[in-house]
Amino acid sequence: MALRLYITPLLALLLVAGTGSARATDYTLLYRAAISPDSEVARVEIRLRGERLPRKLVLHLNPDRHLALRSDAGLTLEGDTATWKPQGPDASLHYEFVISEKKASGRYDSLLTEDWAILRSDKLIPPITATVAKGLVASAELQFELPPGWSSAAPYASTSESSNHYRIVDPGRRLPRPKGWLILGNIASRQDMIAGVDVRVAAPAGQGGRLQDTLAFLAWTVPDVKAVFPGFPDRLLVVTAGKPMWRGGLSGTRSLFMHADRPLISGNRTSSMIHELVHVASGINGGKDADWIVEGLAEYYAANILWRSGAISDLRYQQTMAWKENWGRKADTLFVKRSSGPVTARAAVFMHRLHLALQDATDGAAGLDDVARELARDRGRVSLPQLKQIVQELAADSVDVDALIAGLEHVSAG
């Protein structure tokens, strides 16, 4: 009996592995990008191989960046949309992607230089709507063709063939697609396992003086972020660079960008790094007039994680929340399309008050962590009704979300 119990799980594991391998051969999907500092564009190929391929792929293009689309067959263009009907068993689509993109500030959020490139793979590969037969499964990979001496960092595991060749993981998608930040070129990086997360911090060579500091900061804070959000991805890539990149931080799938000049802890005792980590960890986005929920959570934890990890004292944490409350008075309302500045500060104060109200109503049994965890359960769009429902389930009628919001409206500048 003991032998039987030992063998059964092993056989089950082998069967699962075998099944996964068989399913992965339905068709293969290769995204290949050739990048050179001699050209302003990446030459991109999407290649499908298999006896049964998706019936149709609709690519939603940025007409300023996705150029010169072509295929041997099945491609039609209409406005910003390309419809491709692959003809198996080996079909490919080609286009050019303009890498550098300048923001209104004059800084870049995507840039190709003589020595390196920083961009997002979900910009390189546009959103794709696929018509795929039921049960058809793809094995997807991303491959870079780079100049001699260049290397790459992406938020995926590399294949055994090359360190510039990655296996794409995109749960829940019938057609896996690369997402997240990339850095290519002459780069420097530091890497470690932190709380079960494979963390890599990378920068252009010569700009990586703070890589080890950043990695140490992540070792200090990621465990507490993961404690709030158990769905934290198993890989994290942090890309950093200085001028002329945009002087801010921006999260992506399993990754984030942070300008090299941004402090790990700011003078007001918050952290842009933790703010973006929360976005990576939660995977949520705001629906109509709900962006304040997403940004408020991130800004609340930007200070709270510092406090709970011992990086700032009780007094300093209280001062930080008071500062946010004062700044938030400059906002007239939480209900805006995009939350930033005073609106986000005001939203963080709401989250702080909600936490205290939940703690009081449940004798410490529930708090904001429980709300955040539920909002992030499905890693998708969130809304105010959803937030209210979660609070209702935690504290019945003891906490009135509308009253908390109204309390903030009452002290606004308006």
* Complete edge-to-edge strand list for the sheet that includes strand 81-84: 75-78, 81-84, 56-60, 128-131
Report residue 410's pLDDT band, with 50, 70 and 90 as the boundaries.
low
57 and 164 belong to one structural domain:
yes
333's enclosing H/E stretch is none
Supply the pLDDT for residue 2. 38
Supply the pLDDT for residue 9. 38
304 and 168 belong to one structural domain:
no
Taking all residues of the chain, what is their mean pLDDT, rounded to a whole number? 91
Supply the pLDDT for residue 342. 96
Supply the pLDDT for residue 209. 80
167 and 314 belong to one structural domain:
no
Helices marked H in 25-154: 121-124
Supply the pLDDT for residue 306. 98
Q: Averaged over 153-157, what is the pLDDT?
A: 97
Percentage of the chain lying above the pLDDT 70 cut: 92
Supply the pLDDT for residue 25. 56
Question: Structural domain of residue 252, as residue ranges?
Answer: 24-262
Supply the pLDDT for residue 211. 96
pLDDT at 13 > cutoff 80: no
245 and 303 belong to one structural domain:
no
Distance separating alpha carbons of residues 340 and 317, to the nearest angstrom: 21
Supply the pLDDT for residue 23. 47
Report residue 412's pLDDT band, with 50, 70 and 90 as the boundaries.
very low
316 and 258 belong to one structural domain:
no
Final residue belonging to a domain, choices 247, 262, 277: 262
Is position 102 within any domain? yes
Final residue belonging to a domain, choices 202, 230, 262: 262
86 and 185 belong to one structural domain:
yes
Supply the pLDDT for residue 288. 83
Is position 18 within any domain? no
- pLDDT 10s digits, 247-301: 999 999 999 999 999 999 999 999 999 999 999 999 999 988 899 999 999 999 9
Is position 268 within any domain? no
pLDDT at 26 > cutoff 60: yes
Supply the pLDDT for residue 11. 36
Q: Could you tell me the end-to-end alpha-carbon distance of the chain, in angstroms, rounded to an integer? A: 75
Q: What is the pTM of this model?
A: 0.91
- pLDDT 10s digits, 287-334: 888 999 999 999 999 999 999 999 999 999 999 999 999 999 999 999
Q: How far, in whole angstroms, is CA 48 from its chain's centroid? A: 26
Supply the pLDDT for residue 103. 87
Q: Averaged over 339-364, what is the pLDDT?
A: 97
Q: Averaged over 16-38, what is the pLDDT?
A: 72
DSSP string, 58-79: EEE--TTTEEEEEESSSEEEET
83 and 210 belong to one structural domain:
yes
Strand partners, 382: 286
Supply the pLDDT for residue 53. 93
Supply the pLDDT for residue 54. 94
Is position 145 within any domain? yes
Supply the pLDDT for residue 105. 83
pLDDT at 1 > cutoff 70: no
Is position 276 within any domain? no
Q: Averaged over 135-154, what is the pLDDT?
A: 95
96 and 149 belong to one structural domain:
yes
CATH at residue 181: 2.60.40.3650
251 and 384 belong to one structural domain:
no
Is position 377 within any domain? yes
41 and 131 belong to one structural domain:
yes
User: How many domains, the chain?
Assistant: 2
Selected residue with higher pLDDT from 167 and 171 = 167
46 and 174 belong to one structural domain:
yes
CA distances from 301 to 257, 278, 314, 402 (A): 18, 7, 15, 22
187 and 79 belong to one structural domain:
yes
142, 201, 163, 155: which is closest to 181 by C-alpha?
155
Is position 1 within any domain? no
Final residue belonging to a domain, choices 262, 296, 313: 262
Is position 270 within any domain? no
